Structure 1
Amino acid sequence: MAHKISEECIACGACQAECPVDAISEGDGIYVIDADTCIDCGACADVCPVGAPQPEE
């Protein structure tokens, strides 16, 4: 299951730099994760200062 970035995102870009498969890109005001590319490693969640990336339910 992929991760998803919540509205808590402050668009700092920390998660994008950590993604080993380049699944994260700038969206409209917040970053977004391509669910088809995401390998669910959690690297993005580990570096996010506000905890925006969460496992999709």
Structure 2
Amino acid sequence: MKRAHRTAHARIWTWLALLLPLALFALLALRQSPPADRPAILIEAPAEETAQ
């Protein structure tokens, strides 16, 4: 028969194994900068050749 502290220990580590990665992914998702904070990259059409 398992002792009570072994059962509690298993439950605690199981919850930690589930919650810690979720917390990490949540923090990474919240750290994403919105598009307005990113530097603008100007995309220009290629210059037309005027030589005839």
Task: Tell me the TM-score range normalised by the shorter chain.
Answer: under 0.3
The structure where helix makes up a greater share of residues is: 2
TM-score normalized by structure 1? 0.18
Q: Larger % of strand: which?
A: 1
Q: Please tell me whether Structure 1 or Structure 2 has the larger radius of gyration of its CA atoms.
A: 2
Per the normalisation by structure 2, the TM-score is 0.19
Higher RCO, Cα 8 Å, sep 6+: 1
